[in-house]
Every structure is written in C-alpha cells, then in structure tokens.
Chains A and B, each alone.
Chain A
Amino acid sequence: MIKYLSTLLVGLLIVSSSAFAETSTEQGSLEKELAYLAAERKVVVTASKMEEHVDKTVATTTVITQDDIAHIGARNLLDVLRLVPGIGITQTQFGWREIEVRGVKTVLSEKVQIMLNGHPLDHNLQNAGSAWVYDDLPVDTIKRVEVVRGPGSALYGANAFLAVINIITQNAKDLNGVQTSAGWGSFDTQQYRASWGKQFNNSAEAALHFNFTDTNGINSPIPADSRSIQGLSSNAPGRSQLTEGRYDLEWQLGYKDFKLDGRYINKKAGTFFGVASVLSDDRTQQDYNDYFLRLSRTWKIKDNFTVDTQVFHDFFSYDNIWQTAPAQFLHNGLQDTRTGGEIQANYHLSDTQTMISGFSYAKEQQGNLSDQLGVDPAHLLPTLPSTEERIRKRWGVYIEDVWDPLKNVRLTLGARYDRYNDFGGTFNPRMGFNWEFIKNYSVKFSYGTAYRAPAFGELGLVNNPVLLGNPALKPEEVKTFETGIIAHPVTGLTTQATYYHSSINQIISQVPVRTAISQYENSGSVIAEGIELETRYDFDGALQGSYIGANHVLQHSVQLGQQLADVPRQRTNLMANWAFDNTWSSFAHVLIKGNTLRNSGDTRNVVPGYALFDVGLLGKNMFGKKVDVSFNVYNLLDKHYYDPAPSSLNFIGDYQMAGRTFFGHVSLKF
C-alpha cells in the first residue's frame, strides 16, 4: 500500500513538473533567491510575544501537552499531575484528593492555585482551594497544562503560594469542527465529551465543550471507625462510598477583540470515609455548583503597546449532607461570589524587553447560609449557623519586567501589592535570571514571596464545639529561593536539576486555646527544601514519536524540627513511550514512592512506600485521521498500596487504594 502511494505521489510530481518545466527555467539566480529569503526574514511570527520558552523562564515549569495526555491515557487532571516532579496526589477522608507540592500537603490543597485559561479557580471562599470540583477535571478538552512550581503571588496575587497549575483548553481554532469522545473503565466509570468550534469569516469564533463523568468509586475497605471501636452502632466495618458524578459546560466566544468565556460545573459526590471520625454510608451527599464568566478585550494602542481588560463573575456553592453518626445528619449550604475586573498593560519596549503592569479589583461575598441537623436527611431542622455572611474587598497593583540584556541572559523582576479591607496589605516581590552560559546549557536563579489570604472559614467559623475562627488572622507567607540548571547535551535530550528552599511563616493552623477547643492562629513555620531532577529523551529517525523520561525528587520538609507527616522523602517517575509507527504507540509508567512518616505521637508504623506500574496502548489518527483509541491498565501488577490516613483516624490503619484498573477511550473528530 505504502509503495503504491509512493508511486502515485512520484507520478503526480512528474506530471506536474513536466507541465511547468518551461516557466521554471526562467527562474532567478541565487541572488534573487537570497533577496527573497532576506525579505521573509524580516518577520518572526509567534503566537504571543509574552509566551516564554520553558528553557528561558526563571520559574521551574513543566508543560504537559495534549499529546502527552493522550499517551498517558489520563482519566482526569490528577492522572496528569502525578507525573509532574514535586507533585504527589493522595486521597482525603472527605472524597476529594489533596495535591502535595514540594513536600507540603494540606487537606484542602489551598496553597496551590489552579487556573483555567489564566482565570483563578479558588472560588470556595469558606474553605479555600480548588480541589473541591477541579481535582477530577476531565482532560479530553485540555490542550496544555502548565505547572509552575514555586511562589507566584507577584503576578497572580493570593493563593499562588506553592504552585500555579494553569489548564489551557482547546479553542475554536483547535477544534475547527466537532469532536466527541467516550471512555469506560473500572468501577463503572464512564466519561463522555462533545466539543464544537468554529471560526467565522467575520472574525467571530465560538468553542463549546460539554463533559459528563460518572463513577462508582473504588470501594476501599474501611475496617473501623470511632464508634465501632467503642462497641457502638456503626457502619464499620464497611467500604468507602466515593461515588462521583459531574457535568460541565465550557464556552469561549470571541468577536474581534472581545472574548466571553467561562465554565459551569456541577459535581455530586459521596464520601471516602466521612466526617467526625464516623464511617458514612451512601447517605452523605456533596453537591457543588461552580462557574465563572469572564468578558475580556485586548486593546491595541500601538504595535508595541496593548492593554488587556477583563471583568469577571465567579460563583461557588455547596449543598452538602454529612452523616455524623448512623442516625445523625448535618446539612451545610452556602454561596460564594467574586466579582471584579483587571486591567493589564503590555509594553514591548524593544525586541529584548517587555514590561507588564496591571491593577485588579475584586469583591468577594458569602451568603445564603443554610445549616440544619436531624436524624433523617429528608427531614432536617434548622440549627445555628456554622459560619458568617461576609464581604471582602481587595485590590492589587503589579508590575513585571522581562529583559534580555544579552542574547543569552534573561532577567525577570516583578512585584505586587495587594490590599484587603479585612486584614490590610501584603507586598510580594519576584526576581530571577536565566543565563545560557554555554549553548544549550542554562542556569536559573529566582527568589520570590507569596501569600495566602485567610479563608472566610478561618476568619469566621462559629458555633463549632471544637474549633473557632479568628478575625485577626494575617495571611500566611512563603519565601522561596531556587536555582537550577537546564541542559540539552545532545539533540532530543533535555535534563533539568533544581534546588529549592522555601520558608513558610505565619502558617494558619489550629491552636488549642481551652480544653478541647482550638482556634485558628498564625502560628509556626515550615522549612521545605529539596532537589528535583528530570530528564527526557525524544528519539529521532525511525523511532520518532518515542521517548523515555524520568524524574526524581528528594524533599525534606520540617516543622518544629520534625519531618512533616504523610509526605514521602522521595518520589520517582519513570516513563517510556514507544511509537511503533505513525498510528500506534505504547506507554509505560512506573511511580515509585518512598515511605511516609507519621505525626509525633502517632504509634502506627510508617506508610510503606510502593511502586506502581501502568501501561497503555494508543492508536492515533486512524480512519482518515478521524479516530483515536486508547486502552490503559493502571497498577498492572495489582499492587496493594495505601495512602496515609490522618492521625485522627489512626484506628482504621490507612486508605487502601485501587488495585488493577482499566480504562478505554475512543475519540472522534468530524
């Protein structure tokens, strides 16, 4: 077949070449050709002049492309993130997953800023973080995920504390038609997606994405809870009830320089264990609604001066029923909104220097509180509120200068000041340089600070028998220094080594104030340091499309002289992708995680480390480049492994995670 096609192509070329032979002989000389090339050389076209090549940024950045995601066979965002050096994913007792970054992990992942197409998604003002609805984000519509490790408040403001994860989705141009996909896997998991995108002749464009996902969850065995060990009636021993279902709609509409985009998500979930140290049955129901709507416009003032403006409205609500005993239920509900705007000026001073500066304003509001209690989830009675209605206003100004004083040197200098009506101001600088000291060898250095604003729950938690809010809280702060080297010793090989040192101060933590009562306080500090090593080799020639890669992290996080609990000292990812031909490729991944220590006073043995082996097969561009298929097996060797349960649940041991699981996926383009 290939031979036939080759012959046909040659034939076509011969026919066309014979027909036009005469005119070609009149063509110009070398001088004329070089003059043409010189004219073409005058224009360098790039997608965005502010986009920086990963090699040239001062921040430690990992980019996962749509192609990478397809090879990985990722089921959701977490499957993508767990391959990134310095990032770990673990299960929480409530259901959502926690994102560990550089040896620091909290239940709400509130120190990680997740963004969608550059828009922050930390819409839950009561408890902060974005993992509530974005941990299991479907990946079929994602074009690229950019993970910037280290502080980002100098540019992004609040909560870009340990890392920024920016998810870029497909736009009208990427879609150019209709794309659909479906996936099925273990635990009755099903995913469906439909996308449509079109660019119109009058410079209008539209892209719409719809995703639906549903799973019965992993049904992990839970041997005991706080009631069963006292001999009281209990659901334990039992199994986790982490059913999860979600649908979301994303839109990107553009007309000339205007753009209206946003995403609506509804997520319903059970729980993995539950609250109050009591194993829940299937009557715990979490119900989240989340959307943002953003209208933006880029104003071109001059060739080298543009202004980006945007107004946005974010919404988050939950309406949750928690089982706190076999016959006791608690209902919490509230609504959070954030409305604001931003103006950013981009000034290209020269080919080697770009400066951006901006101003942002937002008003955050929490209301529609609903708290009920009772023995039957269908007939609950009002009870005292668990938090307060609250309004916060904040504004910020920022400036950043990216300057290449030499062809092989980039300097970045930036700072941001934010002012909050409820706790005052915070100033965060960022500086760094990237120096390509030998061709293909660059050294990086950066220093920056970041902050996380206290969440409404931390400020205003009330009527809770064991925990109180604190209106006098200040933001927690981190100062990070990092340096690294990135090299391409031979074509196709990229290696990077990074050392980081972070000092987190004024940590917002729960401090005992009276017997059995704690209060949120700015108390304590954490020192986190580590080394991240990563390498990837992309094969060329007959093996083009194949690659091997590895990353290894050594991390050490200390609080009060002790290694932080529930985070490993080391983690390794090994990856290999073998392209058999232009269509078929196979992917293999090994995750090796070290032991994780316990809190002081927790007498359980350390959580043993483990190695997981995943494999996948991907067929791309079949049937006229219209069909992609993939099949992945996670934990192929059916390894029994555990995520750490907190000390408060020490009686259950740890969370047993999924054994061998399967996921198949089909994607169609029209």
Chain B
Amino acid sequence: MKIINFCKALILLVAFLGSAGFAQSNKVLIVNSEKAVYRYETIATEFKKVLQQNAYQWAEFNLDSHANVEAELKQFIEQENPALIYCIGTQAYSLVHNVAPNKKMLFSAAINWRRLDVGAGTYGVANELSSAQELSLLRHFFPTIKTIGLLYNDSFSREYVETIKKDALASGINIINKPIDDTQEIIGALNELLPKIDMFWIISDPVVLSNKESVQQIFQAAQQQKKPVYAYSDVYIEQGAVLSISADIATIGRQSAGLAMMANQDKVPGGTVQSPAGSMVTLNKCALDALKLKFNQDALDSVNKIVGCEQ
C-alpha cells in the first residue's frame, strides 16, 4: 500500500513538472563572447541582418564590455525576458548556461560543440564542418591518401576527434591522432607523427594553434618531411596548406538566425545542432606541385579557389 501511495505521488510530481512553463516574449538576446573577435562579430552582424529583415526584436550583451559580467548578464536577462538567447562563442554559452539554464538557447562559433551540455532547449550551429563531408572530399581529391595525422588537446577537442575517427573508418582512412597539453609538445609530437602519415590535418584546436610560432612549427616540420597539410580554414593556405575547406563565417550567422526563428516557433526539435551550411574549398597548386603530390584532376570542379605560386 505504501508503494501505491508513493507511485501516486510520483505521478503527480511528473505531471506537475511536465505542465510547468513560462510565459515567453519574442525577443532574442545576443550574447557575444568578445566583440573584438572578427569571427564573433561577423556572425553577430549577419545574424542581426536576418532578424531585421524578419521584423524580430533583439537586444545585445557583449561580455567584454562588463566588469561584473555574470551578475549583470543575469539582471539583463531578467529585464529583457528574451524568448531565446543566442550565444556566440563558448564563453557566452557557458555563462548563459549557468545563469539562465531554463531559457531556450542557440549557440554558434563554439569549438567542438559536442563537449557542451546540449539539452532539449538548446540549438546550435556547429563551428566545424561535417567531418564525413570533409573526409569524402579529401578522398575525392587524394584517392591514394591512406593515413592522416592530427594533433589535438584532450580538453578542447576529444569529442570532435572521436567523430573524425569514426567517420574516417567509414571512408577507409586511417587517422593517427596525438594529444598534446602544451605547445612545447608540438615538435616532439610532430616528429613522432609525421613519418607514419600521408597527410597532416590541422583542426581548430585552440591549444595546438596557440600562436603563430606553433603554426610555423607545424608547417616547417611538414615541409621538412615532405608531408602535405590539409586545414580547416583557408588562412593556412598562405602558410603552405595544400587544401582547405572552410566553413563560411557569414553564413553561420545567417543560418543561426534561421534556426533561431524556427526554434522560437518550435518548428525544429530541441537539441538540434546543424553543420555549417556554407563552405569554401581552396587548393594550393603551388604547394601541391612542390610536393609533387598527385591528385584527382576531376576534383578540380569542386574547387572555389586555386592558389598558384605567383599569388
């Protein structure tokens, strides 16, 4: 009998929790991790353009403009009572997740979103392109590439690297990954890694890519061992990457706005995280020729930009 009473209490509690809700407005609050960062600001600008076109209201909160950021953000959220909070960057997401966990959230520009606590009321646009797509294109360009190596930091990129490895397995590519904790470990890790691989993949890991020196170390080591470098962004083409597939930053902002409007109207399932819709393929013909690397000529159709030695 005690159990029956207990079950009744449970059912009532579940019903209560299920029915609880909050009155919501239609305003969107944009929380920017750091206005001075080009990527964040470009995304914010494009996001706002789409909202304006669709007659949406918004408010902005830039984390780097406030001293007591957590308290002020909390107060601002209470004051604005937004229907959805758009977090640009991991810092914004973490903070909003802490101060307003009950609010509908959308994020973008967060490195390796899989490490975030993405619940039912959270939506996102990934920072990284789908690794399955990237690997398919790599296979298309370089059919002879069998083994790709990459460096990463466990705290920032573990889940992303796991995804890459799973997708690589399906593509018939072998991934050799090496975790590092510090940029001082890059040289040693590269010396160990490069002899075993056909190509090096630069992923957007904030520890591996801590400064210009670490980027130079990667390209110098790869050049010495005559290994091609593939990168997640076209900014590394100038450094010597043979190929890059970049997610388009402005598109991420526009895509986020579309997702925000759909999420606000509950037209998209909670927990949805989309891959970036726009991308750009850049081929460094100069670096390819220097390495005498063979590639599939038919794949040139998919290249947006070819960089020669004269550029």
Q: Do A and B bind each other?
A: yes
A residues apposed to B, CB below 8 Å: 2, 6, 9-10, 12-14, 16-21, 23-47, 173, 176, 198-206, 251, 253, 255-256, 260, 264, 289, 291, 293, 300, 303, 491, 540-542, 544-545, 581-582
Give B148 Cβ to nearest chain A Cβ, in Å.
10
Report B102-129 residues with CB < 8 Å from chain A CB: 102, 104, 109-111, 115-117, 119-121, 129
Give A235 Cβ to nearest chain B Cβ, in Å.
34
Judge whether A202 and B20 touch: CB under 8 Å.
yes
A13 with B133, Cβ < 8 A, contacts A200-B120, A206-B17 known: yes
**Interface assignment of B273: CB less than 8 Å from any CB of chain A:** no
Q: A491-B177, A541-B176 are in contact. List 13 more A-B contacts (CB 8 A).
A: A9-B130, A10-B136, A28-B235, A34-B211, A35-B36, A40-B109, A198-B120, A200-B121, A202-B21, A204-B18, A204-B20, A291-B3, A544-B166
Q: Mark interface residues in B168-180 (1 if CB within 8 Å of A CB, else 0).
A: 0111101111100
Collect the chain B residues with CB atoms within 8 Å of residue A293's CB. 6
**Interface assignment of B308: CB less than 8 Å from any CB of chain A:** no
Return the contact of B40 from the options A2, A34, A36, A44 (Cβ within 8 A).
A36
**How far, in angstroms, from A35 to B132 measured CA to CA in the complex?**
27
Q: Can you name the residue of chain A whose Cβ is closest to the Cβ of B278? A: A20
Judge whether B89 and A40 touch: CB under 8 Å.
yes
Judge whether B178 and A33 touch: CB under 8 Å.
no
**Interface assignment of B198: CB less than 8 Å from any CB of chain A:** no
**Interface assignment of B137: CB less than 8 Å from any CB of chain A:** yes
Give A2 Cβ to nearest chain B Cβ, in Å.
7
Spot the interface stretch: B50-58, B221-229, B246-254, B284-292: B246-254
A29 with B235, Cβ < 8 A, contacts A13-B133, A540-B175, A541-B174 known: yes
Collect the chain B residues with CB atoms within 8 Å of residue A582's CB. 166, 169-170
A33 with B140, Cβ < 8 A, contacts A43-B90, A256-B101 known: no
**How far, in angstroms, from A29 to B17 measured CA to CA in the complex?**
50
**Interface assignment of B91: CB less than 8 Å from any CB of chain A:** yes
Judge whether A32 and B39 touch: CB under 8 Å.
yes
Report B213-268 residues with CB < 8 Å from chain A CB: 215, 233-236, 238-239, 245-246, 248-251
Judge whether B211 and A6 touch: CB under 8 Å.
no
Judge whether A541 and B147 touch: CB under 8 Å.
yes
Judge whether B166 and A202 touch: CB under 8 Å.
no
A45 with B115, Cβ < 8 A, contacts A13-B136, A17-B245, A206-B14 known: yes
A23 with B270, Cβ < 8 A, contacts A33-B235, A44-B156 known: no
Collect the chain A residues with CB atoms within 8 Å of residue B70's CB. 303
Collect the chain A residues with CB atoms within 8 Å of residue B133's CB. 9-10, 12-13
**How far, in angstroms, from A272 to B248 measured CA to CA in the complex?**
67
**Interface assignment of B13: CB less than 8 Å from any CB of chain A:** yes
Return the contact of A23 from the options B134, B175, B278, B302 (Cβ within 8 A).
B278
**How far, in angstroms, from A253 to B178 measured CA to CA in the complex?**
40
Q: Mark interface residues in B25-61 (1 if CB within 8 Å of A CB, else 0).
A: 0000000011011111000000000000000000000
Q: Can you name the residue of chain B whose Cβ is closest to the Cβ of A47? A: B117
Q: Can you pick out 13 interface pairs between chain A and chain B where the beta carbons lie within 8 Å of each other?
A: A18-B304, A23-B251, A23-B278, A24-B279, A32-B38, A34-B215, A37-B204, A37-B206, A40-B91, A256-B102, A303-B70, A541-B175, A544-B165
Collect the chain B residues with CB atoms within 8 Å of residue A202's CB. 20-22, 102, 121
Judge whether B304 and A10 touch: CB under 8 Å.
no
Collect the chain A residues with CB atoms within 8 Å of residue B38's CB. 28, 32, 35-36
**How far, in angstroms, from A480 to B40 measured CA to CA in the complex?**
54
Judge whether A16 and B278 touch: CB under 8 Å.
yes
Judge whether B212 and A41 touch: CB under 8 Å.
no
* 8 nearest A-B residue pairs (beta carbon): A20-B278, A541-B174, A24-B280, A199-B120, A203-B102, A41-B206, A21-B304, A14-B302
Judge whether A253 and B13 touch: CB under 8 Å.
yes
**How far, in angstroms, from A26 to B246 measured CA to CA in the complex?**
12
Judge whether B236 and A30 touch: CB under 8 Å.
yes
**How far, in angstroms, from A9 to B130 measured CA to CA in the complex?**
10
A30 with B212, Cβ < 8 A, contacts A23-B250, A541-B147, A582-B166 known: yes
**How far, in angstroms, from A176 to B120 measured CA to CA in the complex?**
8
Q: Can you name the residue of chain A whose Cβ is closest to the Cβ of B247? A: A24
Judge whether A203 and B121 touch: CB under 8 Å.
yes
Collect the chain A residues with CB atoms within 8 Å of residue B176's CB. 491, 540-541
Judge whether B166 and A13 touch: CB under 8 Å.
no
Q: Can you name the residue of chain A whose Cβ is closest to the Cβ of B33? A: A39
A21 with B270, Cβ < 8 A, contacts A16-B277, A39-B91, A544-B166 known: no
**Interface assignment of B65: CB less than 8 Å from any CB of chain A:** no
Q: Can you name the residue of chain A whose Cβ is closest to the Cβ of B64? A: A39
**How far, in angstroms, from A264 to B238 measured CA to CA in the complex?**
63
Judge whether B39 and A36 touch: CB under 8 Å.
yes
Judge whether A199 and B248 touch: CB under 8 Å.
no
Judge whether A37 and B270 touch: CB under 8 Å.
no
**Interface assignment of B155: CB less than 8 Å from any CB of chain A:** yes
Give A486 Cβ to nearest chain B Cβ, in Å.
16
Q: Can you name the residue of chain A whose Cβ is closest to the Cβ of B147? A: A541
Give A435 Cβ to nearest chain B Cβ, in Å.
16
Which of B17, B89, B156, B211 counts the most A-chain CB atoms under 10 A from its CB? B17
Collect the chain A residues with CB atoms within 8 Å of residue B212's CB. 30-31, 34
Which of A17, A41, A541 counts the most B-chain CB atoms under 10 A from its CB? A17
Collect the chain B residues with CB atoms within 8 Å of residue A19's CB. 278
Q: Can you name the residue of chain B whose Cβ is closest to the Cβ of A44? A: B155
Judge whether A39 and B34 touch: CB under 8 Å.
yes
Judge whether B279 and A16 touch: CB under 8 Å.
yes
Give A650 Cβ to nearest chain B Cβ, in Å.
43
**How far, in angstroms, from A542 to B171 measured CA to CA in the complex?**
10
Which of A31, A35, A256 counts the most B-chain CB atoms under 10 A from its CB? A35
Give B237 Cβ to nearest chain A Cβ, in Å.
10
Collect the chain B residues with CB atoms within 8 Å of residue A32's CB. 37-39, 235
**How far, in angstroms, from A562 to B271 measured CA to CA in the complex?**
61
**How far, in angstroms, from A129 to B132 measured CA to CA in the complex?**
50
Q: Can you name the residue of chain B whose Cβ is closest to the Cβ of A204? A: B17
Collect the chain A residues with CB atoms within 8 Å of residue B206's CB. 37-38, 40-41
Q: Can you name the residue of chain B whose Cβ is closest to the Cβ of A254? A: B17
Q: Can you name the residue of chain A whose Cβ is closest to the Cβ of B7? A: A249
Judge whether B39 and A28 touch: CB under 8 Å.
yes
**How far, in angstroms, from A623 to B304 measured CA to CA in the complex?**
36
Collect the chain A residues with CB atoms within 8 Å of residue B165's CB. 540, 544
**Interface assignment of B210: CB less than 8 Å from any CB of chain A:** yes
**Interface assignment of B305: CB less than 8 Å from any CB of chain A:** yes
**How far, in angstroms, from A202 to B239 measured CA to CA in the complex?**
48
Which of B175, B251, B279 counts the most A-chain CB atoms under 10 A from its CB? B279
Q: Can you name the residue of chain A whose Cβ is closest to the Cβ of B140? A: A10
Judge whether A43 and B91 touch: CB under 8 Å.
yes
Collect the chain A residues with CB atoms within 8 Å of residue B101's CB. 203, 256
Judge whether B120 and A45 touch: CB under 8 Å.
no
Q: Can you name the residue of chain B whose Cβ is closest to the Cβ of A35? A: B37
Give B113 Cβ to nearest chain A Cβ, in Å.
10
Return the contact of B119 from the options A9, A34, A37, A173 (Cβ within 8 A).
A173
Judge whether A40 and B90 touch: CB under 8 Å.
yes
